[in-house]
Amino acid sequence: MDAAPPAPPSSPPSPWLPFESRRRARDEKREAVLRAAVQLFLEQGYHRVTLNEVAERLNITKPALYNYFRGKDEILFECWSMGAELVDSVITEINAGGGSGLAKLRKLVHAYAALMATDFGASLVRFDLRDLAERNAGVARAAKKRIDATFRKYISGGVDDGSIRPCDPKLAAFAIAGALNWIGHWYRRDGGLSPSEIADEFTVRLTEGLAAEGRQQMTKKTPRAPQRRNSGRGTTGKKRTGGGTR
């Protein structure tokens, strides 16, 4: 009986990760660059930060950054885009859920307030669009207009369905967005209120005057403003009771 042919030598294991794993690893590293960069930009200001500092924070070399981004202005735009994508996701979810104009407005105010207390959310209001390439600046301006239009749409819808008192949707949207955007400037992680607590209080303060059912009904349907923790910091950073402010 003939002997069985020898088995072919086994192939050495590939030093490369499977494609999906490689793409996931690259995406994770790319996001790590953005997280480090946005923190530095917010801490020191965009113009003061160098790519060397971003690389040092990540414990990599500056040339390694160019595997993911072509320059600092592209990193800035991507940081801004991360914040914009979070807002877009919130709006998509709210639109899919239905409800009155007032209900949608409250959901947007709450989610937007919480986002403003995150690094990528703050990037929407702390960074100067003039630092972006013209094409990217145009994308950012269009996104800002979409967000403003959504606030106006919910307010107008609420007036139409009777859940919001008659008002000028444009001015109401400006007032609400202005208050929310300022969170991105004054919020500090070591303050007395968490992002969720700030969002709860801003939802009450910014929508109770618009609610058509009046203050009494508003109080029944809206979470109460949170109690402030005894952090010892106030809006000026001096010793007093306050929220997550300077």
Give me the tens of pLDDT residue by residue for the chain, a chain 246 residues long: 555 666 555 545 544 445 445 455 668 899 999 999 999 999 999 999 999 999 999 999 999 999 999 999 999 999 999 999 999 999 999 999 989 999 999 999 999 999 999 999 999 999 999 999 999 999 999 999 999 999 999 999 999 999 999 999 999 999 999 999 999 999 988 878 889 999 999 999 999 999 987 543 444 444 444 444 444 433 333 333 344 443
> Whole-angstrom Cα distance, residue 227 to residue 246?
19
Q: Give the three-state DSSP class for 24.
A: helix
- What's this model's pTM, rounded to 2 decimal places? 0.75
> Whole-angstrom Cα distance, residue 219 to residue 212?
12
Among 238, 208, 245, CA closest to 225: 208
Can you give the pLDDT at residue 240?
Answer: 37
What number of other Cβ atoms are within 10 A of residue 236's Cβ? 10
Q: Please name every residue paired with 164 in a beta bridge, in sequence order, or none if there are none.
A: 211
CB 34 within 8 A of CB 47: no
Can you give the pLDDT at residue 8?
Answer: 54
Can you give the pLDDT at residue 135?
Answer: 93
- Residue type at 95 in one-letter notation: N
- In the chain, what are the domains? 20-69 (1.10.10.60), 73-246 (1.10.357.10)
Exposure of 137 in the CB half-sphere (CA atoms within 13 A)? 9
Q: Please name every residue paired with 233 in a beta bridge, in sequence order, or none if there are none.
A: 239
What number of other Cβ atoms are within 10 A of residue 163's Cβ? 21
CB 212 within 8 A of CB 222: no
Can you give the pLDDT at residue 243?
Answer: 45
User: What is the dihedral angle through the alpha carbons of 121, 80, 93, 182, rounded to the nearest 10 degrees?
Assistant: 30
Q: What secondary structure letter does DSSP report for 14? A: P
